[in-house]
Amino acid sequence: MRETVNELDNPTFRLAVAQFDQAAERMNLDPNLRERLKMPERSLIVSIPIRMDDGTVKLFTGYRVQHDSSRGPSKGGIRYHPDVNLGEVAALAMWMTWKCALAGLPYGGAKGGVRVAPDQLSRGELQRLTRRYAAEIFPMIGPDKDVPAPDVGTDAQVMAWIMDTYSQQVGFAVPGVVTGKPLSIGGSLGREEATGRGVVNVTLEAMRHLGVDLQKATVAVQGFGNVGSNTARIMQEAGVRVIAVSDKSGGLYNPRGLDIPEVLARYRVDGRHSLRDTKLGDWITNEELLELECTVLVPAALSEQITHKNADKVKCRILAEGANGPTTLEADQILTDKGIFIIPDILANSGGVIVSYFEWVQDAQRFFWKAKDIQDRLHEIITTAFHRTLQFSMAKRVTMRMAALMNGIDKVAQAHLARGLYP
């Protein structure tokens, strides 16, 4: 128990709790609810022994955390990354709770992960790791209990293995146990690009609110995974000039604008996955990208990228948080004082869970929607959440982050008060 508490004491979890405390204080939230909502509803730590291709057995550690289920099944991604730990997963689960509530989805928040570098595993090792992890968390997940999805280091294939493992355990196909699956087994059109498309939807609304001319606007995107690459592509399709993108090794910069489809084509060739190889712009570091002068900055990589050390050097007008927790508490205040319009993570990147909800509904109905319907419904839900948050922010004279948190937390608090305490 002491080890679990110590592992929770990590910077990402402290950030999530500090954000919650600030919102709870301003809301005068019931002290009993405050204590309950600070901690996960349940957490599972599992050992995952895997036989490697060379015949040795290696042990990995996995997690599944359910923060809250008062409004429905819990929902949240699974990430494979060397830095995964209980505190990070618990923080992400908490943010998922507020994110789902803010968007009006009938879910609570969850998150999972395995401490592993997936790019160092063969396909066979990755499949064995995934299936054993799925078997270990089997008691916690289910279409009416907890529904995983892809996150950093995982994709549709990983979801397919989890869906198959779960289905083998119960004896029949259960497509709704995960979202972000391949189309052939119940996946949804538009799911892969959903988070990036949602980031673009709310960013364009923010630009209209601030009177920004799209033709003169510029965008820099940190992170070129699923979220970052789709954000950059869809931004360019909307007519906005994308001047910089980056992956974990560094980034490309061209003040005249990058050709994102060409960058994507070269980036993916031969599976090299290095932006440097594309040679389509000047090479810059991730740190330099965050400090570029631009209209919109989209941190779409990992958490805590903008801190008190570099926040004063950020020169964007709009910060759209594609990643979870990319801005520390100290940096948040610095950016606010600079007059930067922040679209907080639980609003900006909620497109993924919104379309995951659509996939879950389609699986339950055994009836699938057209791509245009999905895009239109995503746009309606996320822009409605944006304008509701914006109006609350202006009416209460609080930041967008505080408005989003207060809205999400209030919905969860109301659910707890309605249901009461058992026993």
Amino acid letter for position 311 = A
Structure tokens at 366: 């055994």
Structure tokens at 115: 């401490």
Identify the helix (H) or strand (E) that includes residue 364.
helix 351-365
Q: At 51, phi and psi to the nearest 5?
A: -80, 120
Identify the helix (H) or strand (E) that includes residue 14.
helix 11-27
Identify the helix (H) or strand (E) that includes residue 251.
strand 250-253
Return all residues near 121 (Cβ < 8 A) that are at least 6 apart: 129
Q: At 274, phi and psi to the nearest 5?
A: -140, 120
Q: How far apart are CA 316 and CA 291, in angstroms?
A: 8
Q: How far apart are CA 157 and CA 181, in angstroms?
A: 7
Amino acid letter for position 121 = L
The closest alpha carbon to 319, from 24, 305, 407, 308, belongs to 305
Return all residues near 174 (Cβ < 8 A) that are at least 6 apart: 142, 143, 163, 166, 167
Contact 374, 188 (CB under 8 A): yes
The closest alpha carbon to 413, from 93, 38, 74, 146, belongs to 38
Torsion angle defined by CA atoms of residues 31, 37, 39 and 43, in that order, rounded to the nearest 10 degrees: 150
Q: Is 111 a catalytic residue?
A: yes
Structure tokens at 319: 């910060």
Tokens 């290095």, residue located: 274
**Residue of 111, 216, 372, 396 with catalytic role:** 111
Residue 96, CA distances (Å) to 53, 102, 319, 402 in order: 36, 10, 20, 16
DSSP state of 61: E
- Report, as residue numbers or ranges, the catalytic residues: 111
